[in-house]
Structures are given as structure tokens and as C-alpha cells.
């Protein structure tokens, strides 16, 4: 006896029959490639994470250290402080900073003596040094530069003035 072919069950009228295109391996691979390409594109568009930069402020004035700290932290620096050149040398022996903001006249060890000692040491990197001082005579500026200062800023300084000096040496 021949049996009749089973008929598909009719779908309710309120729900249309879903139309789906069968995914082939090629289509799946293309979709995966598109996602990977998009991920690479998105990664390129995002800015690279900056390496944390370290700064050391060497000044016997707590107020100057506070002002300089605020300026540097706005620019992404992790800041440490020293009250004199001797303390700064000790900190540099532990971890050499990328930038040093340096006063000239301090007790225990002056800024100029600190700079001479720092530059005499064999180090893997050379921190940038900005003198921030009341010494503004040509002889003082030349002496600081001869010993290895990268820039010179006279006190009192403000954010605009110090920022300009940092930009001039590529440390902004």
C-alpha cells in the first residue's frame, strides 16, 4: 500500500515563516575576518597608552614645590620632591627621574652642586633639568648650561612660563 507523503504543518497566519540563509563555511570565515579587521582598525584609532613620566622637584621652598607639583601633575607626571641637592641625589640613586625642576640656592647642597654631581655620574638615561631660580644673570645661566641644564626659568614662575620651558625641551 502506498502511503501519502506527509504534508508540512501549516504555520499560524500571525507568524510569517522565518527566512534564513544557510551559512556556509566561506561566509562564516568572511564574517570572522571582518570582525578581526574591524578590531585591528579600532585598535589603531585609539591613542597609545603613554608611559608614565617621573619628575623630581628639588627646592627648599614648600610653596614652590607645591606650585610646580600641580603644574607637572596636570601634564601627567608622577612627582616626587626633595628639599635639597643631597636628598635629590639620594632619590636619583634609587630611581632616576625623566625631569628635574631644580632650585639654585638650597641648604646642605646647592642646585648647581647637585647638577655637577648628577652629570658626573654614569647613568643609563639623562634626565632633563630645568633650573627655576632667582639667579638670572648671564654668568649664572651659562654656568648652569655648561653643567648640563636643559632650560632656565626665573622665579617667580607661573604655569604659562614653566609650561613654555617644558615645551621648549619636549617635556610638556
Rg of the chain over all Cα atoms, to the nearest angstrom: 32
The mean pLDDT of the chain is 81
d(CA 51, CA 55): 13
Render pLDDT for 97-138 as a digit per residue (tens, 0 to 9): 999 999 999 999 999 999 999 999 988 889 999 999 888 888
Is cis: bond before 137, omega within 30 of 0?
no
Q: Determine the 3-state secondary structure of 37 from DSSP.
A: helix
d(CA 169, CA 161): 13
d(CA 61, CA 160): 20
Render pLDDT for 157-166 as a digit per residue (tens, 0 to 9): 899 999 999 9
Q: 53: part of which helix (H) or strand (E)?
A: strand 53-58
Q: What is the pLDDT of residue 55?
A: 97
Q: What is the pLDDT of residue 54?
A: 96
Full set of structural domains in the chain with CATH: 54-168 (3.40.50.2300)
| Best-predicted range by mean pLDDT (41-55, 82-96, 123-137, 153-167) | 82-96
Amino acid at each position: 500500500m502506498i502511503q501519502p507523503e506527509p504534508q508540512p504543518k501549516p504555520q499560524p497566519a500571525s507568524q510569517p515563516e522565518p527566512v534564513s540563509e544557510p551559512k556556509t563555511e566561506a561566509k562564516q570565515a568572511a564574517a570572522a575576518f571582518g570582525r578581526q579587521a574591524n578590531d585591528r582598525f579600532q585598535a589603531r584609532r585609539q591613542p597609545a597608552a603613554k608611559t608614565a613620566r617621573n619628575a623630581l622637584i628639588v627646592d627648599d621652598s614648600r610653596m614652590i614645590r607645591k606650585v610646580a607639583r600641580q603644574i607637572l601633575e596636570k601634564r601627567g607626571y608622577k612627582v616626587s620632591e626633595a628639599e635639597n641637592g643631597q636628598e635629590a641625589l639620594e632619590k636619583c640613586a634609587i630611581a632616576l627621574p625623566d625631569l628635574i625642576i631644580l632650585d639654585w640656592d638650597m641648604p646642605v647642597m646647592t642646585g648647581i652642586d647637585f647638577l655637577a654631581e648628577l652629570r658626573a655620574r654614569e647613568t643609563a638615561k639623562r634626565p632633563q633639568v630645568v633650573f627655576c631660580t632667582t639667579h638670572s644673570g648671564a654668568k649664572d645661566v651659562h654656568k648652569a648650561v655648561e653643567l648640563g641644564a636643559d632650560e632656565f626659568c626665573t622665579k617667580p614662575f607661573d604655569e604659562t612660563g614653566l609650561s613654555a620651558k617644558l615645551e621648549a625641551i619636549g617635556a610638556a
